[in-house]
């Protein structure tokens, strides 16, 4: 994928990470053996046992009840979600394999979203690192911890394209871009699953939510999505196709409707695309009670109808609800479904269990992390932090500074620091910013007050103490943002401003005249334009996980250098949403010259272009944006040749110089648009490659990207996927808003 060449780096950007990270092809003999074993077992199974395999339960508490033990003996359940203790899972598996009629093992699933016991930054934060290898390593560490506790299946990665920060589940996403999400999602899959599914440390990954969940109307969770097929295929399905090609073991359906059809009962998505076009032979599991949600959608008349529609669409396993087990026998008797359709789903489930080695003596692994998880967590938290503002180079702070004031409840809140979906977090592994700063500087040099009880607190009772310690300090670290409970599933927000009395707190603290550095912990992009204007520096740390504290402390004092870059565009105001970089132009596009000028009134708008009359059309911070403690200078983009043939490739390159005083990493990005004059309008820019480059102070490197014609393909016409001939533009740039393009002609 990447190899050194004289004069710089060559990055073969479009040979997807699916090639880089794909599991080795299964041995043909082993595959044939699995199919024979599946067929032999399927012939022995009763209808009830088949329906049991198609059912996943959350009913296994600790200790296991006699009722559940008996159900396991009877083959009632094929899988358990979030079930019991490690000891309970071992006992349940023993019963399934030794005391049930056919000895079919259980598969235990868990929401291992961004870590298991050691929690890494939320996925949106991880994506800001743009670091495939490190993200893969974090998933590997999570797999080592989870498989040691008898977990076989992680319901991650979430690779929904997220372009609306009101949606709470953007925290679980990898951002707004399909190429970047494909790359990083595939890296996660490789980390979870390892080199072979049947290894003791392999954690089956689950690509979710298939599909269009991130396009929910108004950013309201579970809501409808209306996506034209070209947009569906070009944007929302691309990461899922990449996951399929990376060897992901399972897919999960989405809660939402797509163009009026619930995704959990959509044969176009599940049969035509996933099974027929992509040849996926793994397990498709519904989301939590998504089958019976079909009734509330108005799509199914009752649970019986929901079971029929979901099976025919291609859902193999039902999560939590029991429509399959309760109604499939009567559907069979009424000839509403066929046994062959049930057998197909059971075959997929048994195949996964054989691939995982569950029939062949697989046991929980020994935890092999050896303390590496915390090291990885800190490095990933460090690379995830995005420096948004640094007026007069106030950061990094001088280590010899006398006294700092640390203000805000999020400075010392492990539960908020780890973020959403961290149910198994080991609190003892979480080190807060306050604790890390005290350890670094000594408790006597760090004064602290929360000022607010939580980020949502509207009381100003704690402001007096905050003002006192700020006035006595040489610099203030003001921790702002949103509590973990404000992001994640069912946590959509209509307003994206800092909640509670935080803005009032900022106003009071900046009145002291001391340098004030805002450090924002959040699960989504927030709108804080006026706040940012008042602060001397702004760091966006997301919910950074267990080691967020040391990562932030070392960044603040220059022991490490910020390198994170945004993977979602930050709106200036919620009224701009949705706002994303890869938008289409219009017949009357706004122009840069209009920025910051009076925009008229409703009665007399200034000019007639596609923008608002009361706010600039650009985002507050664009996709790919992020500052450093040094400066990078990009030379003009250039190409190895001006024309590309159908079978050839073009090398696009630029020289990147570290013009500043510190060694640092830069994330170099390749964007392309076009063709101009093709059969469909195309986005103004699309990410086609990226590379993290380390540059010493004063050093220059040439970063090269190799692009083939196939890398420029897109859907057009009657769902034709190809690169049309014509004139394209390409940029090598530090973010999606900068760079000078060159023209490339594709024959």
Residue pair 455/499 in contact by the 8 Å Cβ criterion? yes
pLDDT of residue 27: 63
pLDDT of residue 595: 83
With a cut of 50, list the residues of the chain below it in pLDDT.
Answer: 1-8, 12-25
One-character DSSP codes across 251-270:
EEE-SSEETTEEGGG-HIII
pLDDT of residue 702: 98
Residue pair 585/492 in contact by the 8 Å Cβ criterion? no
614 is annotated as an active-site residue: no
pLDDT of residue 148: 96
* CATH code of the domain occupying 377-556: 3.40.50.1700
CA dihedral (631, 636, 641, 645) positive or negative: positive
Domain locations in the chain?
16-47+86-93+108-360, 48-85+94-107, 377-556, 630-746
pLDDT of residue 600: 65
H/E stretch holding 351 reads helix 339-355
d(CA 263, CA 252): 10
* CATH class as words, domain 16-47+86-93+108-360: alpha beta
Task: Give me the count of residues in the chain.
Answer: 747
Could you tell me the fold of the domain covering 630-746?
Immunoglobulin-like (2.60.40)
pLDDT, tens digit, 9 for 90 and up, residues 486-538: 999 999 999 999 999 999 999 999 999 999 999 999 999 999 999 999 999 99
Active-site annotation holder among 149, 160, 287, 424: 287
pLDDT of residue 13: 47
CB neighbourhood size of 718 (10 A): 6
H/E stretch holding 518 reads strand 516-521
């Amino acid at each position: 994928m990447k190899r050194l060449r004289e004069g710089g780096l060559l990055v073969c950007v479009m040979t997807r990470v699916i090639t880089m990270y794909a599991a080795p092809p299964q041995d043909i003999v082993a595959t044939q053996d699995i199919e024979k074993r599946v067929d032999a077992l399927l012939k022995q199974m009763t209808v009830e046992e088949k329906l049991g395999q198609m059912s996943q339960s959350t009913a296994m508490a600790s200790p296991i009840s006699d009722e559940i033990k008996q159900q396991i003996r009877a083959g009632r359940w094929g899988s358990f979600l979030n079930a019991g203790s490690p000891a309970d899972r071992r006992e349940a598996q023993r019963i399934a394999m030794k005391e049930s009629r056919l000895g079919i093992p259980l598969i235990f699933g868990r929401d291992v979203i961004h870590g298991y016991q050691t929690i890494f930054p939320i996925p949106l934060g991880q994506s800001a690192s743009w670091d495939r290898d490190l993200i893969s390593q974090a998933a590997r560490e999570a797999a080592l911890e989870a498989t040691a506790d008898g977990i076989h299946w992680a319901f991650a990665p979430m690779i929904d394209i997220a372009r609306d920060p009101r949606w709470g589940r953007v925290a679980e996403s990898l951002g707004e871009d399909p190429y970047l999400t494909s790359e990083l999602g595939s890296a996660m899959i490789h980390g979870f699953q390892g080199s072979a599914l049947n290894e003791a440390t392999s954690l089956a990954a689950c690509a979710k939510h298939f599909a269009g969940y991130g396009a929910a109307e108004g950013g309201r969770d579970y809501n409808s999505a209306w996506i034209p097929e070209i947009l569906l295929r070009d944007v929302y399905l691309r990461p899922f196709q990449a996951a399929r090609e990376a060897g992901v073991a399972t897919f999960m359906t989405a809660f939402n409707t797509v163009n009026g059809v619930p995704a959990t009962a959509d044969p176009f998505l599940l049969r035509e695309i996933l099974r027929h076009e992509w040849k996926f032979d793994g397990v498709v599991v519904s989301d939590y009670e998504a089958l019976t949600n079909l009734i509330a959608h108005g799509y199914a008349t009752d649970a019986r109808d929901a079971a029929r529609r979901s099976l025919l669409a291609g859902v193999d396993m039902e999560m939590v609800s029991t429509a399959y087990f309760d109604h499939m026998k009567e559907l069979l008797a009424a000839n509403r479904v066929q046994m062959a359709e049930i057998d197909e789903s059971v075959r997929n489930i048994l195949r996964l269990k054989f691939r995982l080695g569950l029939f062949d003596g697989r046991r929980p692994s020994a935890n092999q992390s050896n303390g590496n998880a915390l090291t990885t967590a800190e490095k990933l938290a460090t690379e995830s932090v995005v420096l948004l503002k640094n007026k007069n180079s106030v950061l990094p702070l001088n280590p010899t500074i006398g006294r700092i004031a640390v203000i805000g409840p999020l400075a010392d809140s492990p539960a908020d620091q780890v973020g959403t979906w961290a149910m198994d977090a080991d609190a003892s592994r979480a080190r807060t910013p306050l604790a890390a700063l005290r350890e670094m500087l000594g408790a006597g040099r760090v004064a602290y007050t929360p000022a607010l009880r939580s980020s949502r607190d509207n009381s100003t009772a704690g402001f007096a103490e905050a003002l006192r310690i700020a006035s006595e300090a040489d610099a203030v670290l003001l921790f702002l943002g949103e509590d973990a409970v404000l992001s994640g599933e069912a946590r959509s927000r209509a307003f994206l401003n800092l909640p509670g009395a935080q803005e009032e707190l900022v106003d009071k603290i900046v009145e002291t005249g001391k340098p004030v550095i805002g450090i924002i912990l959040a699960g989504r992009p927030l709108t804080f334009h006026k706040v940012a204007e008042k602060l001397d520096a702004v760091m966006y740390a997301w919910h950074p996980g267990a080691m967020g504290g040391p990562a932030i402390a070392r960044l603040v004092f220059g022991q490490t250098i910020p390198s994170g870059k945004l993977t979602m565009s930050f709106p200036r105001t919620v009224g701009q949403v949705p706002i994303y970089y890869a938008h289409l132009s219009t017949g009357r596009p706004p122009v840069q010259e209009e920025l910051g000028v009076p925009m008229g009134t409703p009665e007399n708008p200034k000019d007639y272009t596609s923008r608002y009359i009361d706010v600039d059309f650009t985002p507050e911070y664009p996709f790919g944006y992020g500052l450093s403690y040094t400066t990078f200078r990009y030379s003009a983009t250039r190409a190895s040749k001006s024309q590309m043939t159908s079978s050839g490739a073009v090398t696009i390159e630029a020289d990147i110089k570290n013009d500043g005083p510190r060694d640092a990493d830069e994330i170099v990005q390749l964007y392309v648009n076009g063709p101009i004059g093709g059969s469909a309008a195309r986005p103004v820019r699309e990410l086609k490659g990226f590379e993290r480059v380390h540059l010493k102070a004063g050093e220059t490197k040439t970063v090269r990207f190799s692009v083939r014609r196939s890398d420029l393909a897109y859907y057009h016409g009657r769902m034709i996927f190809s690169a049309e001939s014509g004139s394209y533009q390409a940029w090598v740039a530090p973010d999606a808003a900068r760079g000078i393009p060159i023209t490339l002609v594709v024959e």
